[in-house]
Structure formats: structure tokens, C-alpha cells
Amino acid sequence: MSLLEVVDLDAGYGDLQVLSGVDIRVDDGEYVTIVGPNGAGKSTVMKAIVGIATWQGGSIEYRGTDIAGMAPEEVVHERIGYVPQSDNVFPTLTVEENLRLGAYVLDEVPEDRKRDVYDRFPALADRPNENAGSLSGGQQQMLAMGCALMLDPDVLLLDEPSAGLAPDLVDEMFDRVDEINDAGTTVLMVEQNAKEALRRCDRGYVLANGQNRYEDDGDALLGDEEVRREFLGG
């Protein structure tokens, strides 16, 4: 059984429909990416899964339970980690405070997990008392991931983790995602940096105009003439 299975999903914002009949499957332990042009609806898929976008039809099964239409404050209890595309840390709070907030639905802050996050992201461990807003773009992205990891999620939804990062930091970010997946966390990632994302993932989906266009192993999509011409810049 899949960990997360989106079937025939319609979703959008209020009455506005963005996604039509979208299917996405993520198996336990897999690393799946969604690529596609601007405005394709990639972020909307993630927002629909966590209950931020408006659910309009279809099903979203997580561990066999239909979570479609659930409110975000309920979805967070399902231990689905979500790192939004932007505004994903509290800039006026410190690194430490942000991490503690990442675990706000738990009865107490899991100190062992916080240590794991600091071990995984040494740049955060070096500056626990700095305001998140004063960190570099890459450090903020690491902090946002760290906040999501505080819940020890079974699946991590990452919306464009490499956006706005300098080229050398892009590689480092992808390496961190590889490590998180290797350590057993299932990953569903949206990326603008489509070639690198497809190179790294197990399977990929190409979304356009709110609909599925292609799906296959990452390498197969990378090698597909039509996918390359239409979506990967040749």
C-alpha cells in the first residue's frame, strides 16, 4: 500500500479550480518529485494535501485514511511534515524558538529530535539564539526543514527547497534531502530545478495546467525526448 495516494484530485482556492483529476502516489521510503512550469499547480498539490488549498473532489489517502478536506491543524497530527515555498520561518524568533514551535502540537519539545536537527544542520547549531530573519537564504531553508523534522514526520513535503539559493548551496540542499530520505523519511518534493531533482529522485511527475502530464522513474523522464523538449529546456 502507498503511504500517500492522491487520486483524481480537484482542488483550488475557494471557487477557483486549479487542479483537475490529479493522481500522485508516494510509497513508503520513496523520494518523489513534482516538476512543471510556473503556475502548473505544483504548490497547490502540497497545499491540498495539508489542507490549506480548498479540496473540491477526489481522495487523498494517507496510511489508508482519507484526509481530503481535513483542516491543516488536523493534518499536522498525522505527522506529515510540510515546508512551504516561502515565508517558512518566523523571522523575528530565534533559531531555537523556531525549532520549538515546529513541535508545538506535541505535549513537550522532543529534545532528542532537536539535537538530531542540530546535528544534521551544523549551521543552525552554531547560532541557536540568532533571529531567523538574519540567517542566509540557505540557512533559513535548513531551519524550515528542521522545523518540519521536529515532528519526526513519516513524509516530508518540500516545496522548492533550492529556490533562491546560490549554486553551491543548491547542491548542498539536495545533498541534505538525499540524507533525510536515506535515513528513512519519505520525501515528496516540488522543484524548479527540474533536471537535478529528477536526477536525484526515485520517481517523478510532470504537472502542467493543473493536470498530470507524465510520470515515470526520474531517469526515464530525464531521458524522454518529449519531456526534455517541453519541460526541461531541451
Ligand X SMILES: Nc1ncnc2c1ncn2[C@@H]1O[C@H](COP(=O)(O)OP(=O)(O)OP(=O)(O)O)[C@@H](O)[C@H]1O
Choose, by CB under 6 A, the member of 33, 44, 88, 193 that binds ligand X.
44
Q: How far apart are alpha carbons 70 and 74 in whole angstroms?
A: 6
Q: What does 211 bind: ligand X, Mg ion, none (CB cut-off 5 to 8 Å by kind)?
A: none
103 binds ligand X (CB under 6 A): no
Residue 63 DSSP SS3: coil
55 vs 118, beta carbon nearer ligand X: 55
212 binds ligand X (CB under 6 A): no
Question: Beta-carbon neighbour count of residue 57 at 10 Å?
Answer: 14
Q: Exposure of 180 by Cβ count < 10 A (0-12 exposed, 13-18 middle, 19+ buried)?
A: buried
41 binds ligand X (CB under 6 A): yes
40 vs 149, beta carbon nearer ligand X: 40
Q: How far is the CB of 80 from Mg ion (least distance, A)?
A: 18
In the shown chain, the binding pattern of residues 150 to 189 toward ligand X, with x for contact by CB under 6 A and - for none, equals: ----------------------------------------
54 vs 185, beta carbon nearer ligand X: 54
Residue 72 sits at the vertex; the CA angle it makes with 52 and 118, to the nearest 5 degrees, is: 105
Which residue from 58, 45, 125, 116 is spatially nearest to 85, judged by alpha carbons? 45
2 vs 85, beta carbon nearer Mg ion: 85
Name the pairing type of β-strands 16-26 and 65-66.
unpaired
**Alpha carbon 190 to its chain's center:** 6
Instruction: Tell me which residues touch ligand X (CB under 6 A).
Output: 13, 16, 18, 36, 38-44, 85, 192
